[in-house]
Chain A
């Protein structure tokens, strides 16, 4: 995998984001013989998907689907990957996009690092591991996670004590404390924006009181708890390490809610909550699992059947929006909910010992500020073409995956292919015109 390039490198296309959308777009371009540069902000490609436990509706382990695509991209002769790199701006002129990149210092020379992790083992400074959603600890210098690509150590300057131990144990002298941020501009004919999503804050709804209890968790935290190689190796509630006996999923906790500025549906929450509920009932057969919902949106291929299976497995589905969550003394959480299907006492207080808030998807990056790409009222990249859903308002710049609105993995992968098709056509036609002159 080529990780060091300079401005003389002119790829046919540049893909912003090395998550599942960006990787699929890159592979679909590269398989047509086009040279692609993938730029990823994080220290590893793989995006959100590589951190998931299993994926609906097949219950394949997420790593099993993501790692081959990561590996295929990393080994592809037509793909170059830059990690720990951000896109600062795109300036388009005369049909060429000048993409301004900022390579953040990793304090490790990737040409020298052999991924042996001796520095990581020797380092004695730890901080909450972002890959484990803060549940485990990671060393200040470390390979980001087990199946990260590239397998190179990265030093986190914020947490480093500058003791120098890593430099002393490194067998290849790869540690460079004096690394500086590096700026470079890449000229390319086509860009695919695959910058993904983030979840809105877990405290976005003050009535859910997430700041008052560690046991009101994010769905991504539960993904890590459910992952076989997760922080605890099993499902324990974060506050006291107790095995949870009663788990609640609160749907639409950050979506379909004009009061928090997210009026739209985040499209994946129903299905991942159902999946997590199924996995939990496997991991904790005695646990009581309830999903509080407004509408179950199991719309994709095989999804409705998946939902019906979950019902048959004994997962409780309660139709009602949770109004408030109160942490109680002793660790339980009290949910105030109206069960609209209950004729007697529809308004009830229900107690659980772990609550998962289905936070909404919001854009991972706002390209409108520094690129010719425009965003729509929902904050995601605007697409206006009637017949090319992956075209942006800027010629030669395309969009794929959750950068253009919430989307599940299946739809993301299809859209990534479509964006690659649109970009390759654009390149083909541009070059055909150039030949005709």
Chain B
């Protein structure tokens, strides 16, 4: 015996969650099998689809750039319908917490480095900071939160010729914590409106910023404005300052990423998806070209999981869905074929932000997202791939990481679910 389901999704990030939600829609019994805490925690919480391709961009709409992508790009496997289906699943999962679904257009969202990122969906707390919104901007950073240097970010934005004035100031947070305090500690202090000498965290913070305000009509903070009571925190600050406040997405562990993780896992629960986390899939057993069993290393002891259909959504090189040594790139769970130049000096370019070959490494999908071998033949009848493990996209340069995950997740999950419930 083994723990048995119709569809087993291996992975815990955006692609895996989307694949599981999509498969569950077909009526299949689905299990998500994730190793560590979701990589969504490390992510900005922004959902990009396509900003740049073939030397062009930023595109007004992600769909404008599809033709400029190379033929082996995953978007050409799933098509515009696949992308739209991925976004639909996302919108349904997160509800009002995200904006951007009202239009096909990209929004320009500010990053913590002060660049503008073309983005299809963004948390509502980010919305007042869009480049397309008018109004001069004050960015606020804190000595003790080194992730976000407000004056530097403001200078970057100004240098990009944004159509408003922007200024950055560094203030002291009303309450002092240990020097390496985490972003969640700041959020908690605002959530609870902890008292400090002379008032509370929220009121003192508002006072400190009011003293800096010089005609700006919106104020941006690193994403730390409350966790459980974030609406309340933003409302109170906006109220006290008399202008809207917004959050700038930050690096890991990112509060917006943590919140997105919670929302997606809640959506999985809602959809009846079963979840097993904490241990890696390490091996598998096959019969007649099909994967029968996935073996999970459950703290040194092996546990078999069985399913009719499998979706591989373990991520790319960064997410450890792909492994590398000095000579080879491998997909460690099922040993799927990952083409790469023999000479590893051809894997990358001399420039740090160059057109690196490694960025597009990944499994080569057939038109049903099944990984193929060197000869282009389907490797396993019942295995599909989604997200960063799929090759052909340079998601960092294209600003397409979330979109590729959503679209391939939606399609791989649906096909797996349909196959399993036939």
A, B co-complexed: no
**B-side interface residues toward A, CB under 8 Å?**
none
